[in-house]
Amino acid sequence: MSSARPDRHYLLRQRDVPDIHQLEVYRAHGGYEALKQALEANQPDQLVELAKASGLRGRGGAGFPTGMKWSFLPKDGRARVLVINADEGEPGTFKDRELIEGNPHQLIEGMIITCFAIRAPESYVYVRGEFLHGYERLTAAIREAEAAGILGAEVMGHPFAHRMFVYRGAGAYICGEETALLESLEGKRGNPRSKPPFPAVAGLYGRPTVVNNVETIMNLPPLVLKGADWYRQWGTEKSPGLKVMSVSGHVNRPGNYEVPLDWTLAELIEAAGGVRTGHQVKAVIPGGSSMPCMPASQLDTPIDYESLVEAGSMLGSGGCIVMDDSTCIVRAVARVVRFYRNESCGKCTPCREGTYWLTDIMDRLERGDGEMRDLDMLLDVSDNINGKAFCPLGDAAVGFLVSAIKHFRGEFQEHITGQRCPLGARQYDTAIH
């Protein structure tokens, strides 16, 4: 039995409280109470323990336990840094944008609580370059917090001093990868760094650094106020709590849905208004385009991290893309593979060359010029990228492709034997050459 949907929003609070992006409104609805309580009633280490006890896991993609990540920081007295990843570029994901535009103070509050917990005097938010509105909202909220004595030499009268910076990216998906993000934040090209050293040991400007996603950290204020048991009323033992799922594609009400982590894909799609009348679900990518797709027969899978892995996919960032029976899977794969080719940073050969070849072959298949051996070639090239690339973007590039060939091989073959798309999908052709 899945848990019931909560009676209100804990992250997407702007849905319940209009204008909550303003400090005054946020405070009138309990804002910064959690910070006050954290500073007055807790030792930093107790907050790390709270994060661990809640079972909160990173919402940026990898699902790493948040409290554990914080406790990896070396205890060598160097100044620590918190960096918030608001680079949201994973296709199909749009939760962090809505969160920072609509509820920026909760992010700020969560960040200060986290920084108190890990003893970081400085924090940074790396905001995707395209998020102009989100950047402005967040910057305005920080200015409000500074003026109100929530940030600065003292935090709400407590001697804990804190400075917060907002930094804009400039259009590069790879900068969502945490080490590429740190390079970019240092004013360089966004090429991933080799690990080790991990950011916890040598991150931003060589300092011990924690990188966390926007949504992850926005869970802190309600957690501090209500406790780990409250959080665990939703989800499963290993994947507790609420998750903002971005649902898009062929559903009647695309949007962000804050749901318990033990809901099934079918329940989530239902919440998003179901698929268009007269159509059936064909495939779903549950966690952004870097994740394998699942056929309609797997819609009863719960969305917790473990169940999705067992079903052959991953929760990733929670970008759930729903494709109905009108979708040409070959065309969808061609589009996604091209994305990774465009966004490959070019640092390592398997990814740079491999995504180029995959795009080439997929274009050929989409045009109806493919041959049977192209299918083996696709899998072969994928094999040469998977696990062999310098950073996880390589693996991400082939997840959807390989799963699509597994579940919809017949449709790939029809494109070859019929020399056209059986669904009549048309390939985009630029008007002016």
Partner 1 sequence: MSNQQWPAEWRAWAEEVQATFPNATSSLMPFLHRVRSQQGWLTPEALDAAAELLGMTRQHVDSVVSFYTLFRTEPTGARTIHVCRGLSCMMAGADTLMENLEHHLGIAEGQTTSDGAVTLLEAECLAACDLAPACQVNLVYRGPVAPDAFRELLEMPVEEPPALARRAEQSGAQGAKGVADRE
Ligand X SMILES: Cc1cc2nc3c(=O)[nH]c(=O)nc-3n(C[C@H](O)[C@H](O)[C@H](O)COP(=O)(O)O)c2cc1C
Residue 205 exposure: Cα atoms within 13 Å on the Cβ side: 10
Q: Does 178 bind ligand X (CB under 6 A)?
A: yes
x/- letters, 309..328, toward ligand X (CB under 6 A)? --------------------
Nearest to 222 by CA among 46, 350, 54, 430: 54
Residue 347 touches which of ligand SF4, partner 1, ligand X, none (Cβ within 5-8 Å per kind): ligand SF4
Give one DSSP letter per residue of 198-257, joined into a string: PTTTS-GGGS-EEEEEHHHHHTHHHHHHH-HHHHTTSB-SSSBSEEEEEEEESBSS-EEE
Q: Is the dihedral of CA 90, 73, 187, 165 positive or negative?
A: positive
**Sequence letter at residue 302:** P
Task: Out of 12, 26, 50, 60, point to the residue binding ligand X (CB under 6 A).
Answer: 60
Among residues 297 and 428, whose Cβ is nearest to partner 1? 428
Q: Token pair for residue 277?
A: 């009348």
Site for ligand X in 202-261 (CB under 6 A): 211-213, 216
Is residue 94 within 8 Å of 256, Cβ to Cβ? yes
Binding test (CB under 6 A) with ligand X, winner from 89, 104, 350, 394: 89
Which residues form the interface with partner 1 (CB under 8 A)? 88-94, 96-97, 128-133, 165, 167-173, 184-190, 205, 246-250, 254-256, 289, 319, 321, 323, 327, 331-332, 335-336, 339, 342-343, 345, 426, 428-433
Residues paired with 259 in a beta bridge: 243
Q: Please state, in angstroms and as integers, the Cα–Cα distance from residue 189 to each residue in 28, 60, 167, 172, following that order.
A: 43, 21, 15, 10
Report the interface residues with ligand SF4, using CB under 6 A.
Answer: 174, 192, 344-348, 351-352, 389-391, 393-394
Minimum distance, C-beta of residue 219 to ligand X, in the bound complex (Å): 10
Residue 342: closest CA among 350, 351, 330 = 351
Could you tell me which stretch among 97-105, 148-156, 330-338, 392-400 binds ligand X (CB under 6 A)? 392-400
Identify what 351 binds: ligand SF4, ligand X, partner 1, none; CB under 5 to 8 Å per kind.
Answer: ligand SF4
- Binder to ligand X among 51, 111, 174, 398 (CB under 6 A)? 174
**CB under 6 A: which stretch of 173-181, 251-259, 266-274, 291-299 binds ligand X?**
173-181
54, 90, 315, 341: residue in contact with ligand X (rule CB under 6 A):
90
| Interface with ligand X (CB under 6 A), residue from 25, 62, 299, 377 | 62
Cα–Cα distance measured from residue 336 to residue 289, given in angstroms and rounded to the nearest whole number: 7
Q: Which of these, 387, 291, 396, 386, lies nearest to 343 by C-alpha position?
A: 396
| From the list ligand X, partner 1, ligand SF4, none, partner contacted by residue 394 (C-beta under 5 to 8 A by kind) | ligand SF4
Count of C-beta atoms within a 10 Å radius of residue 120: 24
Rounded-to-10 torsion of CA 292, 295, 297, 298: 20
Positions touching ligand X (CB under 6 A) are 58-62, 64, 69, 85, 87-90, 174, 176-178, 211-213, 216, 391-393, 396
